[in-house]
Structure 1
Amino acid sequence: MMLIVKSFFILTLIKCNVAFFSDHKEPEVELKDDLKSSVLKNVKEKWIHQKLDHFDENESRVWKMRYLENDGYLSEDGGPIFIYIGGEWKITQGWLISGHVHDMTKEFGGIMFYTEHRYYGKSHPTSNTSSDNLKYLTVQQALADLANFIKYIKITNPKLKNSGVIVIGASYSATMATWMRLKYPDLVNGVWSSSAPIYAKLNFYEYNEVMTESIRKIGGEKCLNRIEKAFEKLEEFVANTEPKNLFKIEQDFNLCEPLNLTRDLQHFFYELSDTVANLVQGHRNYDIQLACDYITSNKIDDDVKAFSKWVIKQKREEKCIDVNYDELVSKFRNITWGAKANEQLRQWIYQTCDSFAWFQSGTSLNQSFGSKYPQISYFVQMCSDFYGDHFTERIIEQNVARTNDEFGGFNPQVTNVYSTHGDLDPWKAMGTMKDLSKNSPTCVLQSYAHCADLNSISTRDTDEMKESKIRVKELIKGWLKL
C-alpha cells in the first residue's frame, strides 16, 4: 500500500553538555554491523550556503554549512523528513544509519538529514574564532540557519514540497529543537526533545545536587560518603598549607606540577567534580556502580587516595593531570581553526558566557563535592580571560535574563513537543519536569541519565523506556497526520 505522508525533520544533541572541560560529543549510537555496509552507501555529505548574519539586511557575506543526508528510504511520492540537529560537535554518519529516528524514517518512507551547527565540525563561518567573529555564534543565528535549510530542501526537492517537519534533539540541540518549534511553528510540525536544558541560569548549583542523589541512588551511601570525605579532606589540605599536604595532593592526583593555591585552586577542584560529572551524566547500565565498587575498595583506607586512584584511572590517556590555569587560558585564547580548544570548547564556553551561563558551582550545601570550589567568580573570570573583559558578572546575568525572556524559560509557549529526561541526569534541573501543554507531554525516565533514549527499541530497554519510544512514534504520526 502506498504511503501518503507529509515529511518531518529530526534534530539531535550531544552526549553532551557535561561540564566545560569534558569532551562534547554527539550522542552515542549503537551500530549494527549488518546495517553499516548496506545503509552507509545511502549517506551523502552536502553543503548549503548560509548568511553570516540572518538579521542584518545589509549583510552580504555567506558561508558553507555542512549536512549529511540519507534518502535511501524515501518513497517515490515523497515522505516525511527527519532532521537530526547537530550541537556542539562534529557530525558523523552514525545516527543516519541506526537509532530510533532511523527506524521511524525507514518505516514511514522518509528522508533523514543531520545538520551541523555553525562554528562546529567543518562548518566554519569565519576565518578564525576571534571574540569579534564569535558574535555570530548565537542560538538565534543557528535557528535561522535551520529555518533556511528547511526552506531550501523543500524548494530543491519537489518530493518534499508538502512535507511536514519533526525536529529531534538531545541536550543543547534538544534545546534548539524546542525553541525551533517556538520560533518557527510554520516550518516545524513537532519535536522530540531529549535531555534539553531550557532555562538559562548563572549559578547552576543544582547540577551537583542531582549528581549527589544519582550516586546515592545507584552507587549507595558508602560510595557517596567516601567521595564527600575525600573532598572535605582536600579542602582541609588547601586551608592548612603545610608542604606535606600539598605534596600529597600532587602525588595522589599525579599533577603535572605542584598546585599553585593562588592561581590553580578552583580549577583543580573543578577538574575533580567534572570527572565525576562525566561518570554520572554519561551513565549507562552499571557505570556508576562499577565506579563506586572501585572507589570503596576495602584495600584502600585513605579516602583521598581511594578517590584519586579512580580519578587517575578516568584520565589514563593523560600522562599527568594539568590544572595550571594560566596554561588553560593560553590554550583557549588560540583562535586558529584546528587548535585543540577550537574543536569545540572555545566555541561552547563562549555560548555559555554569552547566552546560557549554566556555571556548575560548588556553592550548594546539599551536595558532596566540596562546599567552597568552584565559585561563580571562577567562571566569570574564565569568560573574561578567554574572550575579553567585557564579560563581567553583571553582563552575564543580563545575557541569561535576555535568553529566558526571549524563549520563555521553564515555560515556553509551545505545542507538539515531547520532552524526555533521565531521572539521574543533572541537566534535568534546567529542563521541564511537567507537561508544557496538553499537546506537549514530558516523561522522566527512571534509572537513565543524559540523552539515553535515542537508540533503537531494544530488549535492554526498561518497560518505561520502551513505552516512551512507542509514544514518541505515535505522537509523530499524529503530528504528521499519517
Structure 2
Amino acid sequence: MMITLGLQLLLVLLLGGADGGWNQRQIRKKVHQLREVQNYKDFYSRLGFPKAASLYVPPIEGFLTQPLDHFNRRNNDTYRQRYWINEEFWKRPDGPVFLLIGGEGAESEFSVLAGEHVELAQKHQALLVALEHRYYGASINQDGLTLEAMRFLSSQQALADLASFHLFVSQKYNLTQKNPWMSFGGSYPGSLSAWFRLKFPHLVYAAVASSAPVRAELDFTDYNKVVAQSLSDPVIGGSSKCLNRVRKSFQEVDSMLHAGNVSKLERDFSSCSPLQGPDDYTEFVSNLADIFMGAVQYNMESPGSDVRKICGHMVSAQSAYEGLRIVNSMYMDYIGLKCVENSHEKALSDLGNTTLSAVGVGERQWYYQTCTEFGYYQTCGDGSCPFSRLITLKSQLDLCTEVFQIPPESVHQSVQFTNEFYGADHPKSSRIIFVNGDIDPWHALSVLKNQSRSEIAIFINGTAHCANMNPSRSSDPPSLQKAREEIADKIAEWLQSVRRTE
C-alpha cells in the first residue's frame, strides 16, 4: 500500500502546478513540490526500499478537534487540525519529543519522515510529531476562506493550537517532565518555533528557528538589498556585471512602459493578455522581479533557482534587455508556462478565491496574515533595489484593501503590535537557536547575533532559505555541515542538561 501511495504522491508533485499565475507563487509552489519529492527520495533511501519495506510502520495521521477561537470559550465553534506522529525512533518511556511546526502550506507524512529534525530524532531516540497550521492544507473548515471565517487565522491562535496539541500528545503517550519537547520550524514556522518557546516555556524546552523573520516589517526594502548583494556575490555565481545588467534591464523596461511601448513587452515576455494600464504594469514588472528574487531565496533548491545560471544568461546576452528576455523564457520553460499572467484583475480574482485546496501553498491565507500581522512587503523604493520602481508599498497595501477590506493604517498598526507582542528580533527568551543563510533575503528580519548564552545565532555562508532543514547530504558545503554540527551539539547539550536536573 505504501508503494502505491508514495507513487501517487510523487506523480502529483511532479505533474501539478503548471498553470499560469504570479511568478512568486509559481516559484514557491515548485520549490514546495520539489522539497516533497526530495523528502520522498531521501526517506526511501534511508529505509533501504524495497528490501526493508516489510519492516516499515507508517506514521500515524490524525485530526484533533480544536476550538476555532481559543480566547473566547463562549464561542463553541471548532475545526479539525491534521497531525502526524512517527514512533519509529522513540525510546519509551522517557525519550524526548521533537515537534515540527507547519506553516503557510499543506504538510504531509514526510513532515515526520525526512529532514534535519528527523535525523536528530533518530540520534536522540525522540518521538516525532508534526502539526499542520490552521487554515492551511486539510486543517480548515469548508467555509474557512470566507472573509468572515478568516478572522480566526493568526499566529496567536496557531500558538494556542500548539499548546492544545502538546496536551493531546502528552495524554496520548502518558508523557511527563522526563519527556522534553523541542520545536523545529523554518521561515514563518521558524518564527512560530521561537515564539512557542518564548510564550510557552513550560511546554517546550528548546527551539530551533530556521530562516525565521521574527521582526515584522511593513516596508521590507532590505529584502531586495540582499537580493542585489547576492546577484553580485561570486561565491554563488553572481558578479557586479550581472547585477548591473539586471538593473539596466529593468530601467529599460520602465522606460518602455513610461513611453507606452507595451506591445513589444507583451510579445518579448509572452504576456497572456494585453497590459491594461498601471496596475497591469506593476504586475508585469513584479513577475519579472520575482524570477530573480526566487532564484536568490531558493538558490540551488531546484534547477530553476540557480543564481549562477541566471547570471550566466544575463552576462552573456547581447544586451541587458535581451538577457532579461532569455531569463524569462528559461523560467517559463522550467515552470511549464505557455504565457505569463500579468493581469491585475486576475491576481485579485486568485486572492479572492475561497475554494479549498488540501495541497500546496495557501496564497489567500498567507496574504491575509501579511495584512493582519506581518507586512513583509518586498518593495523597490530604495536606491539599492535593482528592479522596477513601480514595485511600491502602496501597490501591495492596496491588495489588503481590495481583497480583505483592510486599510493601510490598520496594516501598519498590526505590524507594530506583532513586534510589541513577540519582541521582534530581541525576543528575550532562552534555549533558542536562530539559523540563517547569508544569501537568504529573509535573514534581514531574523536574529543574527547571540542574544544571551542560550539564545544563539548561527549564520551560514553561501546558503539560502531554510537550507539546514533539508536532509544532510555529502554534497553539502562545509559551512552548512559545520552549522549542522553546531545545532546537533547544542541540542545534545540541552537534552543532557534535562537529564542532569531530573
Query: TM-score higher than 0.5 here?
Result: yes
301, 314, 318: which is aligned to 2:318? 301
1:383: which partner in 2?
400
2:490: which partner in 1?
475
Alignment of 1:57-96 (within 5 A): 57-96=73-112
1:4: which partner in 2?
none
Distance 1:386 1:366, change over 3 A: same
264, 275, 278: which is aligned to 2:280? 264
Shift of 1:161: 6.4
Q: Distance in 1 between matches of 2:33 and 2:339?
A: 27
Alignment of 1:438-453 (within 5 A): 438-453=453-468
Shift of 1:140: 0.2
- Residue ranges of structure 1 left out of the alignment (5+ in a row): 1-17
Shift of 1:367: 2.2
Q: Distance in 2 between matches of 1:196 and 1:143?
A: 15
User: Which secondary structure does the structure 2 equivalent of 1:23 belong to?
Assistant: helix
Distance 1:162 1:386, change over 3 A: same
Q: Distance in 1 between matches of 2:72 and 2:33?
A: 31
Deviations 1:360-399 (A, max 9, x none): 01111012113x12111111111111112xx122111101
1:187: which partner in 2?
203
Alignment of 1:229-308 (within 5 A): 229-241=248-260, 245-284=261-300, 287-297=306-316, 300-308=317-325
Amino acid at match of 1:65: Q
31, 34, 49: which is aligned to 2:45? 34
Shift of 1:409: 1.0
Q: How many residues align?
A: 456
1:52: which partner in 2?
68
Q: Does 1:434 align with 2:449?
A: yes
Answer whether contact 1:126 1:133 (CA < 8 A) is retained: no
Distance 1:328 1:207, change over 3 A: same
Q: Distance in 2 between matches of 1:155 and 1:223?
A: 57
User: Which secondary structure does the structure 2 equivalent of 1:413 belong to?
Assistant: coil
Answer whether contact 1:153 1:160 (CA < 8 A) is retained: no
Q: Distance in 2 between matches of 1:326 and 1:80?
A: 50
Q: Distance in 1 between matches of 2:34 and 2:153?
A: 22
Q: Distance in 2 between matches of 1:477 and 1:60?
A: 42
| Residues 277-286 or 83-92, more deviating | 277-286
1:116: which partner in 2?
132
1:466: which partner in 2?
481
222, 229, 233: which is aligned to 2:241? 222
* TM-score, structure 2 normalization: 0.86
Amino acid at match of 1:398: Q
Alignment of 1:287-436 (within 5 A): 287-297=306-316, 300-316=317-333, 317-338=336-357, 344-370=362-388, 372-388=389-405, 391-436=406-451
Shift of 1:445: 0.3
User: Which secondary structure does the structure 1 equivalent of 2:179 belong to?
Assistant: coil
Amino acid at match of 1:369: F
2:6: which partner in 1?
none
Answer whether contact 2:106 2:358 (CA < 8 A) is retained: no
Alignment of 1:167-186 (within 5 A): 167-186=183-202
Shift of 1:305: 2.3
Amino acid at match of 2:368: Y
2:147: which partner in 1?
131
Shift of 1:108: 1.6
| Residues 329-338 or 77-86, more deviating | 329-338
Distance 1:147 1:201, change over 3 A: same
Q: Distance in 1 between matches of 2:173 and 2:33?
A: 28
* TM-score, structure 1 normalization: 0.90
Answer whether contact 2:462 2:479 (CA < 8 A) is retained: no
Amino acid at match of 1:236: S
User: Which secondary structure does the structure 2 equivalent of 1:362 belong to?
Assistant: coil
Shift of 1:94: 2.5
Amino acid at match of 2:241: K
Identity %: 27
Distance 1:103 1:21, change over 3 A: closer
2:4: which partner in 1?
none
Shift of 1:480: 2.3
Shift of 1:237: 0.7
Shift of 1:282: 0.3
Q: Distance in 1 between matches of 2:481 and 2:28?
A: 29
Q: Distance in 1 between matches of 2:33 and 2:417?
A: 28
User: What RMSD, in angstroms, separates the aligned Cα atoms of the two structures?
Assistant: 2.1
Deviations 1:162-201 (A, max 9, x none): 3111001100000000111111000010011110001111
Amino acid at match of 1:349: Y
Distance 1:143 1:40, change over 3 A: farther
Answer whether contact 1:19 1:360 (CA < 8 A) is retained: no
Shift of 1:126: 5.2
2:28: which partner in 1?
23
- Residue ranges of structure 2 left out of the alignment (5+ in a row): 1-22
Shift of 1:233: 0.3
